[in-house]
Structure 1
Amino acid sequence: MKCFLLSVAIFATVALSCGAEKLHPLSDEFIDAINNKHTTWKARRNFDVNTPMSSIKQLLGVLPRKENARKLPLKIHPEDADIPETFDAREAWPDCADIIGTIRDQAACGSCWAFGAVEAMSDRICIHSDAQTKVLISAEDLNDCCSDCGDGCNGGWPDEAWWYWSQTGIVTGGLYGTTDGCKAYSITPCEHHVDGDLPACGDIQRTPTCKSTCDEGVDLVYKQDRRTGSAYSIAQSVKQIQIEIMTNGPVEADYDVYEDFPSYSSGVYQHTQGDYEGGHAVKILGWGVEDGTDYWLVANSWNEDWGDNGYFKILRGENECGIEADIIGGIPDL
């Protein structure tokens, strides 16, 4: 009997040390486990269960910070401003809502670092020109041509993207197939998700070759079309970030992505379960409170089928997943 009890004890100890079988992050069981915790957000199937997690990791294009990384100047705002409980840049600058509200698609390319940058730059050009200049800054030009920014579709650094804007400039260019700017995005839109009309994304594409010319048929001159501006960072302070957004427009941010994030559907995201996957860059355009939980309002670049029509909310005030630790902006030269 003693031997039997000892064997049971050993088996239980081994089972506990090994833990339960790890759920696949895109499985129904993993999604159900998130929702069963009844936190501040809900999950759903955004990606087909057969999507390799390696493909999702490749969409997370913020590279680890390198040694002796460039440090942008730190901008400090006076903190005497009244901060509203809610703020949405689309509503604050309604004449620029069509620019600010554009959800882009990085497609099968780890170019989020470039998308977060050019989205905020485009918004700020409209805002600071009093909606007299409405252009989309080209993710294609930044992704393909900034050699110091990283490795294009294999990832880059947001601070280097803004430095490139300040030193070299970036031409205009919008979504795939458009002709209202110098260089449109050349990587075909694809379906990151279960439901949708686009072809499946597949493997990450090679970074397109840098071209110092505008697209064929576009009546613009590349060197003359370059837009520039300043580049600076914002302190890890909720109020500093809020004042920057309500004063100058949306900002670029990057943060840590865990296995639960790809299945975000609604609510205020906070890491619930799953392992670290990589770094991702996005655009913060506002904030608010939902059911008593403070959040940042964020635009992703995985097209409008993902999440909440392309947007998500993330916990504000706790530096959730590092979202408040690396905020970048700049003032456009007009």
Structure 2
Amino acid sequence: MRIQFFFLVIALSGALPTNIPTNILSDEFINHINNQQSTWTAGRNFKENTPLSHLYGLVGSRSSPKAIPMNVHVHSENVGIPESFDARENWPRCESIKVIKDQSACGSCWAVATTSMMSDRICIHSNGNKQIFVSDEDLISCCDHCGVGCVGGFPWEALHWWHTEGIVSGGPYNSTVGCKAYSMPPCDHLSIGTKPECPDEPYDTPECQKQCDPQSSLSYNSDKSFGQEPYGVNADGNLTRAQLDILINGPIVASFQLYEDFFSYKSGVYQHVAGEDVGEHAVKILGWGVEKGTPYWLVANSWNEDWGDKGFFKILRGKNECNVEFRMIASLPKL
């Protein structure tokens, strides 16, 4: 009988899953990630009891069903591409390039990433003479064919909206700079600072107000900036052209498949290790480089500076990691 029990225990132990820990914010899950690879390090960015509804609600990019034209705006493909490039260093006068935004409890990454690129390129192509922040709030609330605001939207349609309708200026929450400030407060994911606690569920999409904030002296219609026709920058998967576009024209927008391990990124060159596919997330790519022999894209996220590497992260370059090299888009400003 003891022999039978012994073999039963062996059989059951062999049948039990030795899979990934189920709580994706647990120390066990973080340790599992760190035990699997060596190009990046996981750590705590969110409280362990953060509802999944809040995490998943941050992921709001949608792929446009429309074909994206590959009309790359570069001066010459003979320009030498350096081993590393950082737009913050190349255009130090442009403050917007250095800013990490906080989309709060709203799936507005699609809008926040695109307005960040717009602001950067307005500064770059005006030689630093125009330093404005294009309003996330105006785009989220008023673009009627960009998607569903805080539930998600299309970066490609956001660039088209900038081209056809224009977008006013506006800073972060409680900002008095620009026409329309972001109406949703910053979100304290770890309860370590003075930011408000994050709500469990996403905020409702703000109502479209085609007027500037009461404290602003600007005129809504005359404050708008406009972009040229949007375009794809990774023509036929040619990453050299993507690098050239960043090098000459400034940061670009990219969407990638976000997996659950990404929530715990702290440093290094990210590549997917564990966890399920959550959806598409839009970000701003501002450069590239090589770390310990691993090529990467340098990227700005929008979950405030408490997340990741002070709000930034690196992702594997050249292997279309998480489809990040498949959905690179941009637009030039009309000046």
TM-score range, shorter chain: over 0.9
Instruction: Judge which range, 31-40 or 311-320, deviates more.
Output: 31-40
Match of residue 140 from structure 2: 143
Give secondary structure in 2 for the equivalent of 1:42. Answer: strand
Deviation for aligned residue 1:196? 2.3
Gaps of 5+ in 2: none
Tell me the secondary structure at the aligned position of residue 314 of structure 1: strand
Q: Report deviation, 1:35.
A: 1.5
C-alpha distance in 2, partners of 1:221/1:143?
19
Q: Is the 8 A contact 1:61 1:281 kept in 2?
A: yes
Determine if contact 1:23/1:29 at 8 Å carries over to the other structure: no
Tell me the percent identity: 50
Structure 1 SS opposite 2:290: strand
- The residue aligned with 1:291 is 292
- 1:134 — aligned with what? 131
Aligned-pair CA distance for 1:37: 2.5
Measured against aligned partners, the alpha-carbon deviations of 1:122-153 in whole angstroms (never above 9, x if no partner) come to 00000000011100000000000111110000
The answer (yes or no) to whether the contact 2:20–2:29 under 8 Å persists in 1 is no
Shift of residue 7 of structure 1?
4.5
1 CA distance for matches of 2:281 and 2:19? 29
- Are 1:99 and 2:96 an aligned pair? yes
Q: 2:211 aligns with which of 210, 213, 222?
A: 213
Offset of residue 192 of structure 1: 2.2
In 2, are the aligned partners of 1:70 and 1:160 still within 8 Å (CA)?
no
Cα distance in structure 2, aligned partners of 1:73 and 1:220 = 35
Q: d(CA) in 1 for partners of 2:266 and 2:10? A: 42
Letter in 2 for 1:109: C
Cα gap change, 1:49/1:128 in structure 2, threshold over 3 Å: closer, same or farther? same
The residue aligned with 1:323 is 324
1:32 to 2:28 alignment: no
In the comparison of the two structures, how many residue pairs are matched?
Answer: 328
1:250 aligns with 2:251: yes
Quick check: 1:156 aligned with 2:153? yes
Q: 2:189 aligns with which of 183, 192, 196?
A: 192
Aligned match of 1:82 in 75, 80, 83?
A: 80
Task: Give me the whole-angstrom Cα distance separating, in 1, the residues matched to 2:270 and 2:70.
Answer: 28
CA deviations 1:260-311 (Å, max 9, x no partner) are: 1111111111111111112110100011111111111101111111111110
Aligned position for 1:169: 166
* Matches of 1:143 and 1:36, distance apart in 2: 40
**2:297 aligns to what SS in structure 1?**
strand
The residue matched to 2:216 in structure 1 has which SS? coil
How much does 1:180 deviate?
A: 1.4
> Following superposition of structure 1 onto structure 2, how do residues 52-91 of structure 1 map, counting pairs within 5 Å?
52-63=51-62, 65=63, 69-76=65-72, 77=74, 78-91=76-89
Map Cα deviations across residues 149-179 of structure 1 (whole Å, 9 max, x no partner).
1000000011011011111111100111111
**TM-aligned CA distance change 1:208 to 1:147, over 3 Å:** same
> In structure 2, what is the Cα distance between the partners aligned to 1:12 and 1:45?
31
Q: CA deviation at 1:58?
A: 0.5
1:89 and 1:300, CA in 2 relative to 1: closer, same or farther beyond 3 A?
same
Structure 1 letter corresponding to 2:224: R
The amino acid that maps onto 1:51 is T
Aligned equivalents of 2:256, 2:181: Cα separation in 1: 27
Q: Give me the CA root mean square deviation.
A: 1.8
Structure 2 CA distance, aligned partners of 1:326 and 1:317? Answer: 14
Q: Following the alignment from structure 1 to structure 2, what is the Cα–Cα distance between the partners of residues 241 and 333?
A: 21
Conserved 8 A contact 2:20-2:274:
no
What residue number does 2:241 align with? 240
Unaligned runs of 5+ residues in structure 1 are: none
CA distance in structure 2 between the aligned counterparts of 1:193 and 1:325, rounded to whole angstroms: 33
Q: Quick check: 2:141–2:205 contact (8 Å CA) kept in 1?
A: yes
Other-structure match for 2:49? 50
Measured after TM superposition, the shift of residue 217 of structure 1 is: 1.8
